[in-house]
Chains A and B, each alone.
Chain A
């Protein structure tokens, strides 16, 4: 416990707000009827996750989270919703009535199990740190120790670009059909 009106106390308060943002965004992302609101909830959740990364001593990864997820992935999903969501009145009235309670029970079970496992495991602190995890160290490791993975992921991204173009270049209407 730290006093509220100090630097640590205000930082803890902001941390609690960030956690609330993350959880609220995740709930919106899974519970809203319209898909566009679900995407908005996903963006809110990722802003919260970026805040968590900031609290984990990694402002660079927090910035990348904002840039890639909030800036790119969410916008791409919004484009897909605009291109392929013909009836946005929701998804009620279809499927089994057991799907909702069953998936809720599965989610609760997974959350409870993982939390209990995290609480019970005796985590071993490291004896020493070999560097401080700063951006310079990350860059050096990325281009020396992990350079092979770095090159491989650029090939993966190139293939993803070409594959997305091949799959989606014909548009959303079949040949010879009016939109």
Chain B
């Protein structure tokens, strides 16, 4: 019995990252609640991070740059999640809903 060694090729990671990006984009367009859209956005960021790490492992002359970039993506994503969730709580305070369709006071 034999098994293909997928873990050693760049293209595998790029396809996984593209799949995560596609699923995240689908969720971002399809979801109707603000928290669901935030979750899909986190998936998109995870896809981008996997791309950075894959290029860092296989193609970069300096293999620390991709790791540091991924760490900064994590920091920015944590800040973004905290801000977005407090905005969602403020929206819930004023509208009693987290559906993106209900927050339409400025809709002309």
User: Which chain A residues have a beta carbon within 8 Å of chain B's beta carbons?
Assistant: 1-5, 8-9, 11-13, 15-16, 19, 22-23, 26-27, 29-30, 35, 38-39, 42, 45-46, 49, 52-53, 55-58, 60-61, 64-65, 68-69, 72-73, 76-77, 79-81, 83-86, 91, 94-95, 99-100, 102-104, 106-108, 110-111, 114-115, 118-119, 123-133, 137-138, 141-142, 146, 149, 153, 156-157, 159-161, 163-165, 167-168, 170-174
> In this complex, which of A1, A39, A76, A160 has the most chain B Cβ atoms within 10 angstroms of its Cβ?
A160
* Contact between B22 and A42, CB atoms less than 8 A apart: no
* Contact between B85 and A164, CB atoms less than 8 A apart: yes
B107 in contact (CB, < 8 A): no
* Contact between A104 and B26, CB atoms less than 8 A apart: yes
Within 8 A of A (CB), among B67-108: 67-68, 70-72, 74-83, 85-94, 96-99, 101
- List 15 A-B pairs, Cβ < 8 Å: A1-B2, A2-B3, A23-B20, A30-B24, A42-B42, A73-B78, A103-B26, A104-B30, A111-B23, A114-B22, A118-B18, A130-B62, A149-B72, A156-B79, A160-B78
Give bound CA distance, A131 to B63, whole Å.
7
> In this complex, which of A60, A100, A107, A171 has the most chain B Cβ atoms within 10 angstroms of its Cβ?
A107
Nearest B residue (CB) for A101: B30
**A55, A106, A124, A167: the one within 8 Å of B83 (CB):** A167
Report the minimal beta-carbon distance from A172 to chain B, rounded to whole angstroms.
Answer: 5
Interface of B is mostly: helix
Within 8 A of A (CB), among B20-56: 20-33, 35-36, 38-40, 42-43, 46, 49-50, 53-54, 56
